[in-house]
Amino acid sequence: MKNGKYTLEELLKDESFIKSITNPDTASSVYWQEAVKQGILDEETLEEARKVALFINKNNPPDSLIDSRILVIWDRIEESIQSNRRKLYKYVSIAAAVVIIATLGINYFINNDLSKTSPLLVQNMQNADIKANKIQLITADEKMTISGDVAEINYSQEEIIVNNEVIGKKAGEKGKLKYDQLIVPYGKRSLLILSDGSKIWVNAGTRVIYPVEFSKNKREISIDGEIYGDFVRDTSRPFTIKARDMEVQILGTQLNIQTYWDDSFQTVVLVTGAVNVKKKGSKAQRLMPNQMITITKDDINVRTVNVLNYTSWKDGCYQFRNEKLETVLSRLSKYYGVKIECDPKAANLQCSGGLFYQNSIHQILDGVCLSAPVKYEMKGDKYIFSTNP
């Protein structure tokens, strides 16, 4: 046993620890539990390291996080800024919050000599309190709050079930649709299981309006925010998702939709199946798996993407590769409901890695600053990022 306590970074650079997590055996498990008992390893640190190791192992870091070119660039960064930042190895977590490899764009260093909208949606969603501290479920009979950062709401049985507890019958007039609303505030997530068994993962800052029971000839919901859906196929009842001036028609598929009221764009990323995406006043666009459509006021664009970059949030993390720091911080801003701005140099830095949403925004932003030559300061209610040479 070592002298002093293990840190998170020490564990994630210890090959024997990584092996004990990815290929566990009795001896290694006993060793690390004994370390906890002897007080040289905090149980919280052990659990955090375990999650990071499993996440990286699951997502194949040699392809998705590690790149020989990145490591060369990082060496040059270390030499140029003459800081005490350590090299990032395959398994590194910063500030118990971030697994991030800052690639900081090659060009940056060369140039610096391192060179139809639903009426139901409009009427109900704009007045909802998306900044509340708890997840809210609004039915025809009551408005209830749900504690915790993650909730599961299930309508696939005769009763409505919230976090495995029955809260009531799915009452309503026969032959008449009854709508409920789920509001997921910033910093929270939910899994919503609809009456037909379709599953919808609901991201932070999102509202969903849906019928308690679908009608016999169609299935339709309205959203404001971001969802990932795994929809049950039913050719007799096509599924329609309405959001702002966009409509998505599906039979059975898995996809991600991002459509926040305060964003200038909307996106649909198709994982499996096929969908038609229609903007009001435009011709419908057919998407194939691994394609993303981006809709703005003046343009519609379809391109091939790595779907994991747009869907990993449903598992509690945000994975990205070769993304601008501005884009990464924008996702954090949206999830936590905070304002983050970048100066032009910091905004264009390229990053690859993953962020874990169970941590606080301060932990994550501090980790970003330890991983990259950037810094931030608070000005009023804004986090302002700039380069830190």
State whether 138 and 271 are in the same domain: yes
Of 9, 25, 58, the residue that ends a domain is: 58
* Domain total of the chain: 2
Is 314 a domain residue?
A: no
Per the document, the length of the chain is 389
Measured CA to CA, the distance from residue 98 to residue 354 in angstroms comes to 7
State whether 49 and 123 are in the same domain: no
Is 177 a domain residue?
A: yes
Is 101 a domain residue?
A: no
State whether 147 and 221 are in the same domain: yes
Q: What is the pTM of this model?
A: 0.69
State whether 249 and 127 are in the same domain: yes
Q: 382-387 and 339-342: which strand pairing? A: parallel
Measured CA to CA, the distance from residue 296 to residue 294 in angstroms comes to 7
Torsion of CA 67, 71, 73, 76, to 10 degrees: -170
Is 338 a domain residue?
A: no
State whether 154 and 238 are in the same domain: yes
Measured CA to CA, the distance from residue 314 to residue 199 in angstroms comes to 12
Of 309, 344, 361, the residue that ends a domain is: 309
Decide if 384 contacts 341 (C-beta within 8 A).
yes
State whether 134 and 252 are in the same domain: yes
- Provide φ and ψ at 282, rounded to 5°: -125, 165
- CA angle (245, 151, 260) in 5-degree steps: 20
State whether 133 and 227 are in the same domain: yes
Of 262, 287, 309, the residue that ends a domain is: 309
Is 49 a domain residue?
A: yes
Range of the domain at 31: 1-58
State whether 212 and 292 are in the same domain: yes
Per the structure block, which two tokens stand in for 345? Answer: 């140099």
Is 345 a domain residue?
A: no
State whether 161 and 33 are in the same domain: no
Q: How many CB atoms lie within 10 A of CB 163?
A: 13
Amino acid at 260: Y
Decide if 353 contacts 99 (C-beta within 8 A).
yes
Is 111 a domain residue?
A: no
Per the structure block, which two tokens stand in for 219? Answer: 């299935």
Nearest Cα to Cα of residue 183 among 210, 211, 155, 218:
210
Nearest Cα to Cα of residue 57 among 90, 101, 9, 98:
90
Is 143 a domain residue?
A: yes
Measured CA to CA, the distance from residue 159 to residue 49 in angstroms comes to 39
Decide if 232 contacts 206 (C-beta within 8 A).
no
State whether 264 and 142 are in the same domain: yes
pLDDT by position in tens, the chain (length 389): 566 788 877 787 777 888 888 888 887 888 888 888 888 888 878 887 887 777 656 544 443 333 333 333 333 333 433 333 333 333 333 333 344 433 343 333 333 332 333 434 434 444 456 777 899 999 877 889 999 999 999 999 988 999 999 988 776 656 678 889 999 999 999 999 999 999 999 999 999 999 999 988 899 999 999 999 999 999 889 899 999 889 999 978 999 999 998 889 999 999 999 999 999 888 999 999 999 999 998 899 999 999 988 999 998 888 888 888 999 999 999 999 999 999 999 999 988 888 888 788 988 898 888 778 899 999 989 999 999 87
State whether 9 and 127 are in the same domain: no
Which residue in this structure is represented by tokens 């196929």?
A: 233
Decide if 9 contacts 93 (C-beta within 8 A).
yes
